[in-house]
Amino acid sequence: MKNELVHLIITSGEPAGIGPEISVHAAKKFLLQNVDTQISLIGDQGLFSPYLNDFQNERLHIIHLPLKTKSVDGQLNSANAPYVLEMLDRAYDGCMQGSYDAIVTAPIQKSVINDYGVSFTGHTEYLAEKAGNAQVVMMLCGQVSTTLSSSARVMRVALASTHLALKEVSGSITAKELLGTLSMLHQALNQYFGIKHPTIEVAGLNPHAGENGYLGKEEIDIIAPVIAQAQSLGINVTGPFSADTMFRIEALDHVDVFLAMYHDQGLIPLKMACFGQGVNVTLGLPIIRTSVDHGTALQLAGRGEANSDSMYQALSVAHQMVKNGSSSS
């Protein structure tokens, strides 16, 4: 990799949202600041033209994928659902074939794909299915806002479950899956983020981490025994802790990643601390995939006001993971 370009592909997301705009703006900025990078941007050329402004760079490749039907800013149309999925399929297949080193995804509208008749809960689950139903871990990371921390701090939060209804979370947490998640975090932080002995703190599922069984027994029956097993394997992990006290800014000086049991338990504190700078990373796939930490922002589409910082950070993290991964292999 030393003398080769890092080749990233951006899927530009929901055509009626801000995905095309932030994809172009972030790609332009990233290419100017990283001469070792090549970016392929996939989507309908017409969606990119308003933001390219005659920008030319031999390391930016536009892969024209025509819309299925005309897209109107801010107006969802399920007829374009196959277009959105084809972007993901082509990017994933290209990574598997070695054409690209990582995928960076702009936000999509899950409801559009479901309205089209395709069951879809998110990028994470869709790519996991393409990888043969691989166990994956959703991890978000970002620089903590300067309003919360006077020193530069990075916050990482991983999830033991992803996009599930709250009533389904408890049944989804098994000893096998939880141990796999901890092992994956330990390995990925070492391989892709250069942290040799990562420190992991684990939240309980219930209030007060179950209050010694009075508020739930998942901590006693599953979470604590798995933590002990992981410790015996050399993983630096502690818990379970009450989630309402675990996520502390000062803890970031010694905690490399927090593991939350469900989506909102982990992402509320992460987005409070890092919103606009956060990056979603899917661990456990045979490819590298990162994404923004926000949605399609239909109300901003076409107005030229969308903030591309999260997309730029997603490119940065993908770039870092490719470089670190290749040097450790």
329 pLDDT more than 60 = no
275 pLDDT more than 80 = no
Please name the residues in contact with 18: beta carbons below 8 A apart, sequence gap of 6 or more. Answer: 106, 107, 296, 297, 300, 301, 306
324 pLDDT more than 80 = yes
Residues in the chain: 329
Q: What are phi and psi of 211, to 5 degrees?
A: 50, 55
Q: Which amino acid is at 271?
A: K
Structure tokens belonging to residue 231: 């410790």
**CA nearest to 110, candidates 186, 68, 50, 162:** 162
pLDDT of amino acid 316: 96
- Between the alpha carbon of residue 316 and those of residues 6, 74, 108, 325, the distances in Å are 11, 28, 20, 14
- For residue 3, what pLDDT band results from cuts at 50, 70 and 90? low
Residue range 91-115, pLDDT digits in tens: 999 999 999 999 999 999 999 999 9
| Rounded CA separation 272/19 (Å) | 22
pLDDT of amino acid 328: 59
| Rounded CA separation 119/319 (Å) | 31
pLDDT averaged over every residue in the chain: 94
Residue range 236-269, pLDDT digits in tens: 999 999 999 999 999 999 999 999 999 999 999 9
189 pLDDT more than 70 = yes
Residue range 161-176, pLDDT digits in tens: 988 899 999 999 999 9
| Rounded CA separation 199/64 (Å) | 43
CATH architecture, domain 1-134+285-329: 3-Layer(aba) Sandwich (3.40)
Residue range 25-75, pLDDT digits in tens: 999 999 999 999 999 999 999 999 999 988 889 999 999 999 999 999 999
Domain range annotation of the chain: 1-134+285-329, 135-279
- For residue 218, what pLDDT band results from cuts at 50, 70 and 90? very high
Which CATH topology does 135-279 take? Answer: Isopropylmalate Dehydrogenase (3.40.718)
pLDDT of amino acid 4: 86
Helices 45-52 & 19-33, crossing angle to 10 degrees? 60
pLDDT over 70 percentage in the chain: 98
According to DSSP, the residues that pair with 237 across neighbouring strands are 200
Helices 224-232 & 175-193, crossing angle to 10 degrees? 50
pLDDT of amino acid 151: 76
Helices assigned H by DSSP within the chain:
19-33, 45-52, 81-96, 110-116, 123-130, 166-172, 175-193, 218, 224-232, 243-246, 263-274, 309-328
Model-level pTM? 0.91
- Which strand (E) or helix (H) includes residue 43? strand 37-43
pLDDT of amino acid 278: 87
Residue range 118-137, pLDDT digits in tens: 999 889 899 999 999 889 99
